[in-house]
Structure formats: C-alpha cells, structure tokens
Structure 1
Amino acid sequence: MKIATFNVNGINGRLEVLLRWLNETRPDVVCLQELKAPQEKFPLSAIETAGYGAVWHGQKRWNGVAILAYDAEPIETRRGLGGDLQDSHSRYIEAAVNGVLIGCLYAPNGNPAPGPKFAYKLAWYERFLAHAQHLLESGAPVVLAGDYNIMPTDRDVYAPERWRDDALFRPEVREAFRRLEEQGWTDALRQLHPEERIYTFWDYFRNAWGRNAGLRLDHLLLSPSIADRLERAGVDREVRGWEHASDHAPTWIELSKA
C-alpha cells in the first residue's frame, strides 16, 4: 500500500502537474494540502477520471485539504480539529481507506514569530496533539500525513543557523513534533533514512531549487499498530523540477499488507 502526501500549492492552477504525477506513480492513497479552492471548485471530475475517489475540505484562496484513494471511495470520519469553535481554517480531514485511518493535515506556517500567527500555530498543535493521542488510544492503524510546517532537526534544513528564529524551526514547534514522537508516532522517512539530508520543499526564490537549499516540511507519522509494516519511504524530488511545479515535492511510504 503506497501512501503519499503532496502540498500542491493550488490544485486548479497545478492540476496538470498533479494528474501527471498520479498517472506516473499511481499511489493508493494521496493526501493533498493547500488546495486554495472553495469546496465547489474542487476538480472532482478530473480526479475521478484519473481513477481516484476523494473527500476534501476546501477554502476560498487559502488552505484546503483532501484525501484521494485509487479505485476506492475514502470514508470520511472527521473534518477539522476540535477544541476551537472559532477556527474556520480548512486544515484537517480524516478518512478510512482499505483498513487504514488516514489523517491529512496542513499545519499553520506561524510567521512572523513571535506574534498572533505563531500563537495560533502553537495552539493548533496543542489541539492536534490531543487528537493524535486519542487516535493512538483507539489502537487503530493510523497514518498522519501532510505539511507539518516544521523542520524537526538540523538535518531537515539546508542552513540551520539561518532558521533559528523562524516559525518553522523555533524550539517551540520542534518540541511539538518531539511530543508527537514521544506519544508513540514513528516518523517514517527518518525511520528508514536516519542520517540522510532529505528535503521536500524548495522556495521559488533565490534559486533554492537549483542550489538544493531545501527544507523537510512534509511528514508521514505512523501509529504503533502500523509502523512495523513500513517497507520503503522517499520523496519524488524530480516533480519539483517540472514546469509550473509546486514548491513542495510528493513524499511517500510503502506499507506491507496486514
């Protein structure tokens, strides 16, 4: 079972890139972030023609998450996180696909930090941590995949010294990621590639792609009941070099059969 996460940075504007990648790699499950489209503008017909069923949580201009399943219909189990009735951002959706519970997330960026946006990011992560703990206690096989907007370690950023005060790398957010791992979640990419410098994002500015000045922001975390099924993990790095590409590349895992 191949599960991927891909921040598409505008699903309608980069639909050709998404469809090409789906056709070439054919993952079983795909978590998408930054749809940047309201609910009614999701390109369902094109996604279905590519062979995928979908559930999605859109938002005009910003945010937006979706879960796609090849030759299947995801069974939605949750839309949004609890704990803040005022939070209208489309940042989390959850669905069951072929016996696995998939959580797709797009965490807040949080910049500039400190400030209100950073405070929102930290509060959002407290809510996410509470939900993640609840999922673990259920004992279900769960994959939490998406753009976490966190570089967990120095190996996950091309120049750590330049990012110390950024909301993606400040100690508070790295501590939130560490707390997820302490709950029992396995960082799939690091599990199989513990020392390698692997990036999933390259900015459009300052020739970041050409210099390989990247960040690892996109993660797939596995619950204990599914972590032992992990066989492979990687990044489809070449997609970032395609014409009109997202600034993120798809990140994926392969799981053995239960």
Structure 2
Amino acid sequence: MQIATWNVNSLNVRLDHVLAWLEKYPVDALALQETKLTDDKFPVEALAEAGYQSLFTGQKTYNGVALLTRTTAQDAVYALPGFEDDHKRVIAASVDGVRVIGVYCPNGQDLDSPKFEYKLAWFEALAAWLKEEIAAHDKLVLTGDFNIAPRPEDTYDAEKWEGRILCSPPERAALKTLLDLGLSDCWRLFDEPEGRHRFTWWDYRNGGWARNAGLRIDHVLATPALVEHCRECKAYVGERGRKRPSDHVPVVADFDV
C-alpha cells in the first residue's frame, strides 16, 4: 500500500500535474494540501476518470485539503474535533484498513506573530485528537505539510534557519509531541538521500530550486503496526522542476500490507 502527500499550492493550477503523476505512480491514497478551491469547484469527475474517489473540504483562495483514494474510504472526518477553526486543514478516513489523516499545518508566519500562537494551539489540539485516533486504529498514517523541519539536517543551511519560523524549538517540540504518541517518521527509517532528494519544499523566491535551497517539511508518520512493514519513503523531486510547479513535491511511503 502506497500512501502519499502533496501540497499542490492550488489544485486548479496543478490538476494536470496531479493527473499525470497519478498515471505514472498510481498510489493507493494521496493527501493533498492547499487545494485552494471551494467544494463546488473540486474536480471530482476528472479525478474519477483517473480512477480516484475524492474526499475534500475547501475554501476560496486559501488552505483546503483532500484525500484521493482508489478504493472507497470510510468514516471520514473533515475538521479537527474540538478546535474552532474556519481554516480547512484536516481530513481523515479509513482506506483498506488503514486510518489516513491528511493535514495542512499552520505556517505561523513569525515567532512574535499571533499566527505563531495559533500554530502551537493547533498542534496541541491535533495531538489530543490524534491520541484518540491511535487508540482506535493500530494502523494509522499522519501525513501532510507540517510546516516544520524536524532537524538541522532537514534544512539547506542550518546556521541560517536554526531558531527561525519552521525550525524553532517550540515548533519542533510540538512535532515531537506527535511522535511521542507512538508515531515514527518513515523518512528516517532508511538511509537518507543527498542533494535535492533531501528536501520536499523549495521557495519560489530567490532561485530556491536552482540553488537547492530546500527544507524537509512534508512528512509521513506511522504507527508501529505500519512502520514494521514500511519498505520505502522518498520525495519525487522531479515535480519541482516542471513548468509552473508547486513549491512542494510528493512524498510517498510504501507499506507491505
């Protein structure tokens, strides 16, 4: 079973990219972030023609998440329970016996911004709900754009990034709280790649892609029942080199279940 995540930074703009990628790499489940579409605009028919069913919750211009599956997903959740929020950031469903949760975590903007406080509160609520989900589902994957680089090695320039937004101690502590619930970062189960393949996001500004000025902020976290069956986890970095690309690339974990 292959489970993937991809922040597409507008599904309207990147639909052809998604369809072409799925034709080449027909994963079992794909969590999308930043679809930036209201629900009435979601391309259900185009994705169905490609062999995928769609669960989605979106809003105009910002945020928006979706879960594309080759089989019928069950017991869908479209928001973070117990956390009042107009932003569409969470989607979850059971797919072939695996609980798949897709998230678009807040960016936080700056360490002294109210958006940073919102980010930490959001992660706290996610952890509380996730604890319940893990208790109910031994096979669970939490995946998406976390907007956190876990370690200095997950940045192209540790000296520049350490302590800044996406790499601050409070953010990394929030991510560790999720891992402490029993999840593992599937990326780190294997020998880590070099060069472009180290990262999942490159800024549009200042020639980020050309300079390989990237970060690893898109993750696949899994429970022990899946970790023991994980055969591979990698980023498909070629998507960043396409014409009009997203600033993120797909990340796929392959489980022998």
TM-score relative to the length of structure 1: 0.95
Which ranges of structure 1 fall in alignment gaps of 5 or more residues?
A: none
Cα shift at 1:98: 0.8
SS in 1 for 2:144: strand
Q: Any residues of structure 2 matched to 1:11-30 within 5 Å, and which?
A: 11-30=11-30
Moved more, 146-155 or 130-139: 130-139
Deviations 1:24-46 (A, max 9, x none): 11111100000001111111111
Deviations 1:164-206 (A, max 9, x none): 3432111000011112222210100112235857100011111
Cα shift at 1:140: 2.5
Q: Any residues of structure 2 matched to 1:205-244 within 5 Å, and which?
A: 205-244=205-244
Matched with 1:88 is 86
Matched with 2:56 is 56
Moved more, 128-137 or 238-247: 128-137
SS in 2 for 1:54: strand
CA distance in 2, matches of 1:40, 1:224: 38
Q: Size of the alignment, in residue pairs?
A: 255
Q: Aligned partner of 2:228: which letter?
A: D
Q: Aligned partner of 1:130: which letter?
A: A
Deviations 1:221-248 (A, max 9, x none): 0012221110111110101101111000
CA distance in 1, matches of 2:75, 2:226: 20
Matched with 2:159 is 161
Deviations 1:89-111 (A, max 9, x none): 10001011111110000000001
Contact 1:54-1:73 at 8 Å conserved across structures:
no
Matched with 1:73 is 72
1:202 partnered with 2:185: no
SS in 2 for 1:137: helix
Matched with 2:128 is 130
Matched with 1:37 is 37
Q: Aligned partner of 2:114: which letter?
A: P
State the 4+ residue runs in structure 1 displaced beyond 4 angstroms.
194-197
SS in 2 for 1:73: coil
SS in 1 for 2:209: helix
TM-align CA RMSD:
1.3
SS in 1 for 2:174: helix
Matched with 1:251 is 251
CA distance in 2, matches of 1:76, 1:235: 29
Matched with 2:103 is 105
Contact 1:155-1:195 at 8 Å conserved across structures:
no
TM-score relative to the length of structure 2: 0.95
CA distance in 2, matches of 1:178, 1:237: 26
Moved more, 181-190 or 133-142: 133-142
CA distance in 2, matches of 1:249, 1:181: 23
SS in 2 for 1:132: helix
CA distance in 2, matches of 1:228, 1:93: 25
CA distance in 2, matches of 1:20, 1:195: 25
Moved more, 194-203 or 39-48: 194-203
Matched with 2:112 is 114
Q: Aligned partner of 2:43: which letter?
A: P
Cα shift at 1:139: 4.2
Q: Aligned partner of 1:248: which letter?
A: H
